[in-house]
Amino acid sequence: MRQFTYERATSAASAAAAVADNGNAKFIAGGTNLLDLMKLEIETPTHLIDVNGLGLDKIEATEKGGLKIGALVRNTDLAADERVRRDYGVLTRALVAGASGQLRNKATTAGNLLQRTRCPYFYDTNQPCNKRQPGSGCSAIGGVTRQLGIVGVSDQCIATHPSDMAVAMRALDATVETVKSDGVTRSIPIADFHRLPGDTPHIETALDQGEIITAVTLPPPVAGRHVYRKVRDRASYAFALVSVAAIVRPDGTGRVALGGVAHKPWRVEAAEADMPNGAATVMRKLLDGARTTEENEFKVTLAERTLAGILEETKG
């Protein structure tokens, strides 16, 4: 870990400005991802701006009938919120499937969206990695890839986004609210928030330098059975091999998003029309163009069978 200076932000805009002006500055929220990466010198900020004191820790009803979740709301509190549990069950289920109780007590909404990949080569600074060190190459391709991505991958990077929460938010059509250093706000649909790796796997989101997340807004509740199914080798405390967030209405129509398969939560709206026709049909469109390795091609079958299980369970 490199030495760094630290300050507590007093307003979102001033925090944004401080980071915008300093390429080596970063926000810190729960610190559960950033500090680990700093210890390994995968992240090397020289200045940290603590955003915990900005009062962004509330969950409020919106005029449109949705919910506005402050960027600093802890994963534990979000999962436990009565409105979330009642109306956005897929989100609660995704949250509690993630990490551990202790981590969720610290982890924040914004931090969770911005957590970085768990590709093992990204974590070993002796190994080339385009995401960690642009242009150095991708060690994972041709190496150990069981956990890695199968859709939307590129020749530069096949990493996945590890978040569970984000997959549920993608199914819910959430919007990420931000403020830039000049005070200008943006509402970024979650579909556009995370990027595919392409030639620039180190650029992971639509955020500009210094742009701060203030909230995530959920539209009015979506009716149907809310399911989050996270598949992993051990029963808890592991990242998803594949996860499926689904909302299924009694007639079999609904929404589905996947985790553990791509550089972003993976959803193809056009595939959803096929939900009444079964998982295989949905997956043909949802995973169209999948590019697998020998080690991770099982994820195609796994995603399909996981969805099949959900469709079976939510029948009638």
Partner 1 sequence: MRFDTPATNNPIDQMKVVGQAITRIDGPRKVTGTATYAYEWHDASLKAAYGYPVGAAIAKGRISSMDVQAARQAPGVLAVVTAESAGKLGKGSLNTATLMGGPEIQHYHQAIAVVVAETFEQARSAAQLIKVDYVEAPGAFDLAAEMENAVKPESGDPDSAAGDFGPAFEAAAVKLDERYTTPDQSHAMMEPHASLAVWNGDELTLWTSNQMIAWNRAQIAATLGMEEDKIHIMSPFIGGGFGSKLFLRSDALLAALGAKAAGRPVKLALPRPFLMNNTTHRPATIQRIRIGAGQDGRITAIGHESWSGDLPGGGPEAAVMQTRLLYAGQHRMTAMRLATLDLPEGNAMRAPGEAPGLMALEIAMDEMAEKLGIDPVEFRIINDTQVDPEKPEKQFSHRQFVECLRLGAERFGWERRNPTPGSVRDGRWLVGMGVASAFRNNLVMKSGARVRLDREGVVTVETDMTDIGTGTYTIIAQTAAEMMGLTVDKVAVNLGDTRFPVSAGSGGQWGANSSTAGVYAACVALREKIAQKLGFNSTDVTFADGEIRSGNRAISLAQAAGDDGITAEDTIEYGDVSEEKQQSTFGAHFVEVGIDAYTAEIRVRRMLGVAAAGRILNPITARSQMIGAMTMGVGGAFMEELAVDKRRGFFVNHDLAGYEVPVHADIHDQEVIFLDETDPYSSPMKAKGVGELGLCGVAAALANAVHNATGVRVRNYPVTLDKIIRDLPRIG
Ligand X SMILES: Cc1cc2nc3c(=O)[nH]c(=O)nc-3n(C[C@H](O)[C@H](O)[C@H](O)COP(=O)(O)OP(=O)(O)OC[C@H]3O[C@@H](n4cnc5c(N)ncnc54)[C@H](O)[C@@H]3O)c2cc1C
Distance CA 122, CA 113 (A): 18
Shortest Cβ distance from residue 258 to partner 1 (Å)? 13
Shortest Cβ distance from residue 274 to ligand X (Å)? 28
101-140 residues in contact with ligand X (CB under 6 A) are 103, 106-108, 110-112, 114-115
Is 117 a residue that touches ligand SF4 (CB under 6 A)? yes
In three state form, how does the secondary structure of the chain look? Answer: CCCCEEEECCCHHHHHHHHHCCCCEEEECCCCCHHHHHHCCCCCCCEEEECCCCCCCCEEECCCCCEEEECCCEHHHHHHCHHHHHHCHHHHHHHHCCCCHHHHHHCEHHHHHHCCCCCCCCCCCCCCECCCCCCCCECCCCCCCCCCCCCCCCCCCCCCCCCCHHHHHHHCCCEEEEECCCCCEEEEEHHHHECCCCCCCCCCECCCCCCEEEEEEECCCCCCEEEEEEECCCCCCCCCCEEEEEEECCCCCEEEEEECCCCCCECCHHHHCCHHHCHHHHHHHHCCCCCCCCCCCHHHHHHHHHHHHHHHHCCC
Is 158 a residue that touches ligand SF4 (CB under 6 A)? yes
The nearer residue to partner 1, 130 or 139, going by C-beta atoms, is: 139
Residues that bind partner 1 (CB under 8 A): 1-3, 39, 41, 118, 120-121, 123-124, 126-127, 139, 142-144, 146, 229, 231-239, 241, 278-280, 298, 301-302, 305-306, 308-309, 311-313
28-67 residues in contact with ligand X (CB under 6 A) are 28-34, 36, 51
Is 224 a residue that touches ligand X (CB under 6 A)? no
Piece in contact with ligand SF4 (CB under 6 A), picked from 106-114, 137-145, 181-189, 273-281? 137-145
Is 119 a residue that touches ligand SF4 (CB under 6 A)? yes
Residue 33 binds which of ligand SF4, partner 1, ligand X, none (CB < 5-8 A, kind-dependent): ligand X
CA 302 to chain centre: 20
Binding mask 199-218 for ligand SF4 (x = CB under 6 A): --x-----------------
Residue 264 binds which of ligand SF4, ligand X, partner 1, none (CB < 5-8 A, kind-dependent): none
Residue 278 binds which of ligand SF4, ligand X, partner 1, none (CB < 5-8 A, kind-dependent): partner 1
Binding site for ligand X (CB under 6 A): 26-34, 36, 51, 71, 98-99, 103, 106-108, 110-112, 114-115, 162-165, 212-213, 239
